[in-house]
Structure 1
Amino acid sequence: MPVNVYRNESLVQMETYEAEPARVDELVEQVRAKWSLLREHGYAGDYPIEVLRGNRNGGNIKVVEVFRWKSVQDRINAQTDPDYVALAGQISSLTTAEGTKETYTQAVRGFNHNFPSVGGVELLKGVCSCLLTIDGVVKDYQMSVKNGIVLMHRSPRMDLDGDGRNEMYLKILMHGGEIIQAALGPIRVEQNFNRPNDGIVKSNSAGGSDFPGTAIWRVSWKIHTPMGPVLTDPDQPLIFGPATVNHYPPVGTHFHSPTGPVALVHEETGARVGTLTPGELTAFDIVVTKDDEIYADVLNTPPADIFEVMEEWRNRMGDQEVQPVVAGATDGVM
């Protein structure tokens, strides 16, 4: 599936002000106060504000503000909010000219065709889907986890197994999300920290660019439900992939799961309570990335069996694409 390298950014606004040097500190404080007000009133999105300031040969100082509205309607509603109008007036009184507002419709992602040369930590937004069966309650419920995030560490590009092809090992530090199911109530899905949760991307060729490569993930879940915590079978990891990845970051790549149904076990009693069939894992975008300051030896060292997992599932699938998991006619409440 082709990846759209254009991210919808129609809610991003950039506003430019100019002020005399003696008034610029107060201007910056008022601009920050404006964003705080927009957040408190529910108009501004989760994109953190950026306030840039610079000099213009000893003359007036330019201040640039970048933030994201929560929605188009919120942008409209803010214009009639008396608190916002008053604060915008205070900002205007500190400037030498009316501020210039600019909005943008798209942001073009930058992609690298090699694995990063430096390791680092990344926070990603994503979504994961599966079919959930709880015996006597729901059968093949299409569960799509919301509020999905993945906090992971990526290793620098290295030939970890000495075969001449580079790899990037991915250690999941935390991932999870929520959903509300009619028969079960609120559900929290997160990783089982007692089992491996990781992945790897391996270049398909030696020499030249690292991409395209083949990637695979293995995870185990702990699911918090009103009936108590439930674990996916600790001895059967959930596999997503293998999938072809064409660039870094791998946002937009769809990792379908070939795993099939996995037993769900009540953590406290050990009783089997149902099954979970993993469907698809997709990372939509990187929220924050931070390069390592020094080599992270422990995080960069993959367990030997991750290569065995990759090889096992590549052999199982051969040249076949992993097919998406779909629910049958028995979706929903039993």
Structure 2
Amino acid sequence: MDKKVKELLNRWLENDLINQASYEKIVNFEENSNPNQKSKVARAITLIGGLFLLSGLLGTIPLLWMNLAYWAQLGLLVATTYFLFYAGTYSEKLEDGKLFIFKSTDRVSSFLFLISNISFGASVTFAINILQQTELINFSEEISYILVSFFVLLYAIYLFLRTKLIFQHAALFYCICFHLGAIGNLLFPNIEPWAGGLFLIAIGSIWGINTYSTLLKPSWLGYFLSISTISIGTIILIEDLIQNEIISILILILGSIFYVWASIQLSEQVIFFIGGLGLVINLPRFITEILPDNIWPPLILFLVGGVLVVVGLYLNSIRENIKSTDSE
């Protein structure tokens, strides 16, 4: 049992906060449920050894890669993928706590699963290339992209449903974008840039809606992926369809203001930061279009200062809201 827990129990027992029967039940529960010190040491040694093994494997791959046959390279990728998945599964069983640069063992397992997702994608790509070289299958490059992205997406969905952690959230988003992009490239090979912008806006909007419905966690990452994708799509759409620079900048400024408003409604700081960044970038551009060169630098400083003041006030209001919520 943890020493701090035992000290607390002894103090509670001495002050008659718990009786002897409850004390013994808690002690028995803690001793039976928590791993003993030897188990902790064994797991730590195993994990450290696994990290050294992974480092050695990753360092050896570049040295052996060019000297291996294609099928041997595939086998090495499959083995690496399995090892990463096993390491991620094993790290899930460790007692939660800070580990190296990661704040928790969940982050460790999430990172290992992310690397295994990348390795799995490389394995699928190699497998399809080998099948094409042996003439067992004959797909076009576009079909190959769709197949690779489909299998990688399936694996990403599995990992997300398994963990629902930050890296799997991001991997799922980009795998979906890659797969839909591959399908779009096959169906519309000569797509216009503005259509690509609409595609990004649609993907970002759908992701934001699912984040708002609490289907996707953590919410800050979901909103960041959503808003940044919508912003990129909007920029592409405007640059391709609108030739007037002032109108283009005004639309971007209005969009940034909308983000700031939405961030206040949703109490999400990440949306506010993106909206504030858009204002900081586009307000000076707007000023340079409508004012002489010798007057806009002071105004830029004024506007940037104003934006920073608003950011500070917003963050302070968020803190006060959190305090009031906790007090209620």
The structure carrying a bigger helix percent of its residues is: 2
Quickly name the TM-score band, shorter chain normalised. Answer: under 0.3
**TM-score normalized by the length of structure 1:** 0.22
Which one has the bigger strand percentage?
1
Q: Report the TM-score when normalising by structure 2.
A: 0.22
Q: Relative CO higher for 1 or 2, CA cutoff 8 Å, sep ≥ 6? A: 1
* Structure with the greater alpha carbon radius of gyration: 2
